[in-house]
A and B are shown apart, each in its own frame.
Chain A
Amino acid sequence: MFLPDSFKLSTPSDCEIQVTRDFDAPRRLVFDAFTKPELVRRWLLGPPGWTMPLCEIDLRVGGAYRYAWRSEKDGSQMAMGGVFREVVRLERLVATEKFDDAWYPGEAVDTTVFEEMRDITRMTMTILYESQEARDTARRSGMERGMVAGYNRLEALLPTLAGATT
């Protein structure tokens, strides 16, 4: 079945980021793909050129998870982990989230909700940071180093914007 691009990224509040996406699969499969380490490792690979050598998930309230990524190009690494606060099988996960070397204060809380509509599963992930600064810094620190290459669309736009004010 063809699904129109359902990906949505929004900032519902100053401290949150929300990502929504529909998947053409029953909920139990999508839930598995988010919670079974051998499946998570297949798609949550980080930026282009990175692999996921470590993926551990202890799926129960109070259980920990830990992810690590590695750049095959220069060997640099990043890792994050947290603890599950709520686990409602197939429906809802709430877990803390913190990158190892993040310099943002505190930790974030991720809420992931899976809704099944006919054969489509809608996944909504909301990441709540302790402050707006934490949110913005967190994403920069966690994502930036591996993501310098290949983002040409915006780079093309930048000279236009910069030129407008000079």
Chain B
Amino acid sequence: MTFSALANPTRRAILELLASSGEVPVGELARSFTMTQPAISRHLKVLEDAGLISTGSDAQRRPRKLEARPLAEATEWLERYREYWAASFDRLDDLLIELKTTEKNRKRRAPKER
């Protein structure tokens, strides 16, 4: 749920705004993203269901704020996973260069019979 919540660019932008501004009322969020309140509320619900944000106690303004921990866990996990594979594939690139060179040399030494 966390990752599908993060998959949407508008929702990522909402998280960024909350990260820099602290608590933001829903009306202000709608204005910032030039979206209707129902539209922004749908995004907020996805984020809230994923535990990435929470709603403050002010029932009138319904301010949202970032829940840093789940977001940090999700991004950390993805980042580690990405770095793990990126490093492995870089090694694989080197190996493939070596295999291509070996193949080329072998061909040169033993040209195909006609």
Is chain B found bound to chain A in the same assembly?
yes
B54 to chain A, nearest CB (A): 9
Cβ-defined contact, A164 with B79, below 8 A: no
Surface stretch bound by A, among B30-38, B40-48, B80-88: B80-88
Chain B nearest CB, measured from A155 CB (Å): 8
Give bound CA distance, A100 to B76, whole Å: 23
Near A by CB (< 8 A), chain B positions 1-29 give 1-4, 7, 18-20, 22
- The number of residues on chain A lying at the interface, defined by a beta carbon within 8 Å of a beta carbon of chain B, is 40
Q: Is the CB of A164 within 8 A of B19?
A: yes
Do A25 and B19 touch (CB < 8 A)?
no
Beta-carbon contact of B79 and A154 below 8 Å: yes
Task: Check B89 against A165 for contact (C-beta < 8 Å).
Answer: no
Choose the segment among A42-50, A59-67, A87-95, A106-114 that binds chain B (4+ C-beta atoms closer than 8 Å): A42-50
| Across-interface contacts of A140 in B (CB, < 8 A) | 77
Q: Which residues of A lie under 8 Å from residue B100 when comparing CB positions? A: 25, 29
A162 touches B72 (CB 8 A): yes
**Cβ-defined contact, B80 with A30, below 8 A:** no
Indicate whether A139 sits within 8 Å of B92 (C-beta atoms), given known contacts A151-B83, A161-B71: no
Residues on B with C-beta less than 8 A from A143 are 80-81, 84
**Which B residues touch A25, using CB under 8 A?**
96-97, 99-100
Q: Does A23 contact B93, Cβ atoms closer than 8 Å?
A: yes
Interface centre among B66, B68, B69, B103 (most CB of A within 10 A): B68
Q: Is the CB of A23 within 8 A of B68?
A: no
Selected from B3, B67, B69, B95, the residue in CB contact (under 8 A) with A43 is B95
Given contacts A14-B4, A161-B71, contact A30 B96 (CB under 8 A): yes
Q: Please give the distance in Å from A148's CB to the nearest CB on chain B.
A: 9
